[in-house]
Amino acid sequence: MLINRVIINSSPLIVLFKSQQAELLPQLFAEILVPEGVFEEVTIAGEDDAASRQLPRVSWIQRVEITTIAPEVAAWDLGKGESQVLSLALKTLANSAAIVDDRAARRCGQVLGITTIGTGGILIRAKRRGLIKSVSQGIEALRDAGLWLSDNVVNLLKQQAGE
């Protein structure tokens, strides 16, 4: 399935900026939608934080105001960002995916028929498109930036990337 549009949550944005890998997003996807609640979560940290400082300055995001949370998403009692991401993804199912790392949000997306991608999945797509040579360095950078990935998940990501 070709994915042209992604709706991205806070934690993937934060770790991608902090690991200096955020520029992979516009190389992989034509549209990167950031719900207003996610934008606020990322930028609240101020100028001392890499993601907070860089997100408002990139030209490749589209901020989207979300006025209501879909009832089927609200039933999952997720965080504000996850709820906005999944509600928007539910409206735009064709050729779109939600980039979320939270396990409950990923389960919610799966139940509702929303394609979800984790931050590690971004690296796999980047390798498949020839944007990076290996996912191993990127995974280490994500971990250094604060993304918790179990050894099992790291091994699975490397296996999916053919490493």
Is the pTM for the entire model greater than 0.85? yes
CATH node for 5-160: 3.40.50.1010
What is the spatial distance between Cα 123 and Cα 161, in angstroms, rounded to a whole number? 8
Per-residue model confidence as pLDDT tens digits over 86-136 = 999 998 867 789 999 999 999 999 999 999 999 999 999 999 999 999 999
pLDDT computed for residue 93 by the predictor: 67
Q: Where are the alpha helices (DSSP H) in 46-134?
A: 50-54, 71-74, 80-91, 103-111, 119-128
Domain-wise residue ranges, the chain: 5-160
What is the spatial distance between Cα 46 and Cα 15, in angstroms, rounded to a whole number? 16
How many residues comprise the chain?
163
The values of phi and psi at residue 113, to 5°, are: 80, 20
**Residue 1's pLDDT band (cuts 50, 70, 90):** low
